[in-house]
Amino acid sequence: MIDELLDFEIEELDSIQGDERLPSLVREWVSAFGEVSRHNEYAATLAYFCLLGQILKDNLRIPYGFTTEDSRIHICWIQTARSGKSVLNDFYTQITDKTFNYINAQPGVNSKFNIFDVVDYTDAALIGTTEKVPNPDYEPGGDEPKEIEQQVFGALEGSGLALFDEFESSGVFKRSTHKENVITYFQKLMNTLTTDGYKIKKKLAHGPTITCDCQRSMFATTYPPEHLTEVIAEKGVLQRMFMYIRDVPQHVLNQMRRELIASIGQVRERATPANKFSKAFLTIHNIVKERHDAGISQNEIISFSDGFHDSLNLEYDNMIAYLSKVPSEAKKIVSLFETNSLIYITKFAVLCAITESIDRLDNEKWIVFPRNVRQAAWIVRQGYMSQVAWLLAALRLSRVEVAEKAGFEDYVAGFNACDKTDDGWVNKAQLRIECEQNHNIPQAKFYRAWPKIAHKFNEKKEGRTSLVKIKGDED
């Protein structure tokens, strides 16, 4: 069962059939990205919805009873180094920049969009600071000061994309005195835009309180940093993002490198359909804005069909059934993402419905149908299944490392020196004595270290006697 979970691979988009098949514009987008960053089509899918959710945030809301979500989707893509992340990001930036230029040139746009571009993650760089400027009201001999404090905005201020190509340096994964507040900042900006809870405020030590109004969507990429499992479990910022973790299989890496070798000496012009996709995003932005400007509230831009809730309940049942197969140690971590997974299914479903509405018949526009739920569920399912596969592999490796540090080899030597039953079992008390007498493992240390290596042994009771046996490779 565990091997089945570990062997998970992202489904090819071309193989998706029926209602899970993504909208045609998404498929075209993914195909174009596949030309420049091979084997990263799923990450390209996430990039599409991250950009779409951002440009619709001013005109679209998704009601959840007493709360309301905005349309933004925040992505954290963690993948093996040198496997195409930066190439994809470069292509993504070209399209995003052109899209923002088109939208910013439109009359009556509430936000001016741009791309977050900074590698300095200090407080001043991210959320801003203040500087002294001449006071326009100053008059010699008057009461007004000669200079006043004026806020200098940080890179997170405003709307658009916060694209982190080196997210491992952000301070989320490694504690730094210069980046101690970055986790709080990222958590705040991911709060819903329907309240002021997303605004980042900081009282300067020698100055006023500054406010950073960040309405950006995050698209963060990194190789798997050290202690990732602990960070996922402990840092709420990752739990709020849509996470995609991929340890690229060696055969895929080999194929990537073969393709690199084959390209040496060739001159190819990269087809960059940035204009095509930018205009498509502009069209979607404008029709949603026109709908809002016509008097339809943000909460009513879209509606949900009668079968929506049944479909979402079914997909949640599928999620529960899948997670029931996951060992408890990994399930504790993955379960932290369950609620967000449901929210993201809804967001993806809404964005799929809006993407399709360009070409729908008038009586089907602006409705989230069950098929949109299934499209969204496919996207989210790939995300949480990738998390499970990575966590199981990481926890397995961690247990091996812990066992080695606990002196497992000494326990093996002690076990081999003990008398065994016909079927290979050893009295645990005898093993303890052998370890103490010949392997420098006192009784207290033996029992203290045992929980760290117990997974390497089978253990059973015969009456009051505990018997142990080293697990074979088949276990």
User: Which range is least confidently modeled, 7-11, 184-188, 291-295?
Assistant: 7-11
Does residue 99 or residue 81 have the better pLDDT? 99
Between 465 and 445, residue with greater pLDDT: 465
Task: Evaluate the CA torsion angle 58, 192, 234, 118 in order and state its sign.
Answer: positive
Mean per-residue pLDDT of the chain? 88
Kindly state the average pLDDT of the residues 349-368: 95
**What is the Cβ-side half-sphere exposure of residue 441, based on CA atoms within 13 angstroms?**
23
Q: Are 22 and 375 in contact (CB under 8 A)?
A: yes
Of 35-44, 164-173, 414-423, the poorest mean pLDDT is in 164-173
Q: What is the DSSP letter of 242?
A: E
120 or 97, higher pLDDT: 97
In the chain, what are the domain boundaries?
2-263+271-400, 406-470
Provide the pLDDT for residue 178. Answer: 58
Give the CA distances from residue 270 to residues 32, 132, 273, 274, 310, in Å, rounded to whole numbers and listed in that order. 10, 48, 9, 11, 45
Percent of the chain at pLDDT > 90 equals 51
The second-level CATH assignment, the architecture, of 406-470 is Orthogonal Bundle (1.10)
Burial class (CB in 10 A: 0-12, 13-18, 19+), 451: exposed
State both tokens at 443. 């009784």
| pLDDT surpasses 50 at 473 | no
- What is the CATH topology of the domain spanning 2-263+271-400? Rossmann fold (3.40.50)
Q: Looking at residue 208, what is its pLDDT?
A: 84
Q: What is the pLDDT of residue 467?
A: 94
**pLDDT band, very low/low/confident/very high, at 268 (cuts 50, 70, 90):** low
Cα dihedral 59, 65, 66, 67, rounded to 10, equals: -40
Cα separation of 189 and 197, whole Å? 8
Dihedral sign from CA coordinates of 90, 10, 220, 258: negative
Distance CA 333, CA 335 (A): 5
Q: What is the pLDDT of residue 397?
A: 54
**Band (356; pLDDT cuts 50, 70, 90):** very high
What was the pLDDT predicted at 228? 83
Give the model confidence (pLDDT) of 309-321 as tens digits. 999 999 999 999 9
Out of 30-44, 248-262, 273-287, 363-377, which region has the weakest mean confidence (pLDDT)? Answer: 248-262
